[in-house]
Chain A
Amino acid sequence: MIASLLPVLSPGTLLAAAVTSTAASLWLLLPRGLTGTAERMSRWLGSLLGLAALACFIATGHRLGSLGDEAVFLIVSLVAVISGAATVVSRSPVYAAIWFALALAGVAGVLLVLGAQFLGVATIVVYAGAILVMFLFVLMLAQPAGMAPYDRVSNEPLLSAVAGAVLLGILSLTIGRLTAEPPACCLMPATKAALLAGSATAADGEATDSDRGGVDLLAENHVARLGGELFGRHLLAVEVAGVLLLVALVGSIAIVSRGGSGGGLGDGDARATRRAVS
């Protein structure tokens, strides 16, 4: 949308600007042991640069079919990305956990828009409902009073921000290249067959024009078919996952109850049990 208003900005320039401002904003936002006015200025500048980076990413994004689709996708993905960034840069771990919950809501929205109904709901239930609450429990158990000094500094903030931004740039470049026509050797079998039959142009034009979101082949009877796939083709993997959950359960209880001299939660009970057994 913005790209059409500003024809000067090519996708390459926009991507470079996005990567640079992402690195700068993350560096400014990460805790670096500043105080007072310097801290506030750094946060404001970092937020502004982050918004600029988001605007660049939105400008390089692809248009969806209708304005409604576009608005919904934009809102949920902005919620996910902004809350994710806030998770990373929050000084207080409790705030980080709460921002992460909001990021999960955004991710669930993105999954719903992408047509993964079951996974969107499962993300909310499993992550926000169970895993995140566990995180908060541990935070309440293990939070020392006041703002800890190690929450106010970072390991190499500049280098890590640059590393993340470079990775992001490489990934975005690769994703941008996907729109280019692949060489004939790498075409999918169905497309190749269609090409051989000579009907490729007609089928291609139909598919891209009718629906900019692409044809969702998985939409019909979604959850039932997902369940069939999971418990049919991947039945063994489901069994292994169940065993993995059991092992993690037993293992975490064993670690807590036999956790060395530091005095874990159930330390006294475990010692009493061991004495009773021997």
Chain B
Amino acid sequence: MTPAPLVLNGLVVGAILFALGLVGILARRNLIVMFLCAELMLQGISVSLVSWSRHHGDWGGHVLVIFVLTVAACEAAVALVFVLQAFSRTGRLDSAAWQSLRESNLPRVVDHELPAVDTVPHAFPRLTPAGIEPPVDEDALLEREQV
């Protein structure tokens, strides 16, 4: 029995999501973005599991996805605590900040000086003041401070 077209398309979508997450894990250096990519891989897995579940008419895939959700919640909680601790120690969310933990036979990551990016500050809209500014009640301010 060959899978239905819908099942095959679902499997392809799952594969694409998984591969994208893999590229992100391998290439990105921001710890939080790396975790987001890991979650993206989990999403790809979920789509594939549900597709197979539909193909076989079996609940196994659905139940597995529920446990994937549970484990993802645990993983996010613990991992984000680690990220916070790492940030408070180094002041950076950079995975290369921890390269002293690498294998002894691996070369050191050396950052080249990047050309400065022209950081244009965001032009936030300014609200024009409308109406009349009410007179400041000095007594009320004093009372507020005492409270």
Asked if A and B bind, the verdict is yes
A residues with a Cβ closer than 8 A to B are 22, 26, 30, 33, 35-36, 57, 60-64, 69, 73, 77, 80-81, 84-85, 87-88, 90, 93, 96-97, 100, 103-104, 107, 110-111, 113-116, 118-119, 122-123, 126-127, 130-131, 134-135, 138-139, 141-144, 146-157, 159-161, 163-165, 167-168, 171-172, 175, 178-181, 187-188, 191, 204, 207-208, 211-218, 225-226, 229-230, 234, 237, 241, 244-245, 247-249, 251-252, 255-256, 259-260, 262-265
Are the CB atoms of B117 and A119 closer together than 8 Å?
no
| Nearest CB of chain A from residue B138's CB, rounded to whole Å | 36
Are the CB atoms of A171 and B15 closer together than 8 Å?
yes
Are the CB atoms of B119 and A146 closer together than 8 Å?
yes
Interface magnitude class on chain B: 35 or more
Instruction: Give the dominant DSSP class at B's interface.
Output: helix
Question: Considering the chains assembled together, what is the distance between the CA atoms of A190 and B79 in angstroms?
Answer: 44
Instruction: Give the dominant DSSP class at A's interface.
Output: helix
The 19 listed contacts between A and B (C-beta, < 8 Å) are A22-B19, A30-B23, A30-B28, A62-B8, A63-B5, A90-B33, A96-B32, A103-B40, A150-B96, A160-B26, A168-B15, A175-B8, A178-B3, A212-B5, A214-B54, A215-B57, A230-B66, A245-B73, A248-B74
Residues of B within 8 A of A265 (CB): 84
Are the CB atoms of A213 and B4 closer together than 8 Å?
yes
Residue of B nearest to A22 (CB): B19
Are the CB atoms of B36 and A135 closer together than 8 Å?
yes
Q: List the 9 shortest-distance A-B pairs measured between CB atoms, nearest first.
A: A214-B4, A217-B57, A62-B5, A160-B26, A164-B23, A248-B74, A88-B24, A171-B15, A262-B89
